[in-house]
Structure 1
């Protein structure tokens, strides 16, 4: 494995770990004039190229298509812009697998609400940034000193 590929793999794994701790993203359809909106991603540690969302059939992303999701980690030390495709998830076993009390709270009719649907986000690529959390990096930010690009943290463009 080349050094760059190893670096990109590590950043990608860091993104998945951060999303597992705080699975909230802003998501919108590419080419739409609708604003992105916050959604909770349903993650599966064994499915590293897809995640899911429950939504209403009249939601602005319900029609699916090419989409972008933005993610900021809980500690604000990892940022990602994730590109992919939203498709209606029709497999009942997947729909049931991620259903929970937290999900049910959003749908008046619960799991059998005629307006509820599930979308699958198939990832294509992402741009991921990891911030410098070192003491010197924080000190430079607090004191207004210039941070050199080599001190700014890690960055990767990864195919997913």
Structure 2
């Protein structure tokens, strides 16, 4: 089933779907046009559709984003059969108050000097669109369906699920 909803409802639903998925794959564009992906830990998703991440000023993604601010984020939770793809525009933010707000001590692994580490910069991704896929079936039910398809030679038909698009 495909859903279409207004922006506020869509962002609320998106926030609910990814709130427990802490790591996303961030894809940015290299200067030569090739794509570069890496895992990033989501620090916060705001009701206005902004996603926040910590990164280092010397990170390879910084020149990529300065060259082309279009990014993609992929969230996956196979245990709940939830998958989300987010497109957005990335901006680099040097705001100590926001760093203080989002800081947690686990970040010391990347920023040993703490929240005042001079290498810290925030990455803000403003969502332009998102797409999600949910399947209410358990992994065992899905596996049975795939095995059945292989044995019968018929194409696998996943059970009823949810698919929707959100446009900002």
TM-score, with length taken from structure 2: 0.76
Q: Give 1:121's aligned residue.
A: 125
Choose which of 70, 87, 92 in structure 1 pairs with 2:91.
87
Q: CA contact under 8 A between 2:11 and 2:49: conserved in structure 1?
A: no
Unaligned runs of 5+ in 1: none
Which residue is equivalent to 1:56?
Answer: 56
Residue number in structure 1 paired with 2:42:
41
Instruction: Indicate which of 126, 130, 139 corresponds to 2:144.
Output: 139
Give the match's secondary structure for 1:144. Answer: helix
Equivalent residue, structure 1, for 2:77: 73
Instruction: Give the 3 Å change call, closer, same or farther, for CA 94–62 of structure 1 in structure 2.
Output: same
TM-score for the superposition, normalised by structure 1: 0.79
Number of paired residues?
A: 156
- Look up the match of 2:166: 158
Unaligned runs of 5+ in 2: none
Asked if structure 2 preserves the Cα contact closer than 8 Å seen for 1:24 and 1:38, the reply is yes
Answer whether contact 1:107 1:116 (CA < 8 A) is retained. Answer: yes
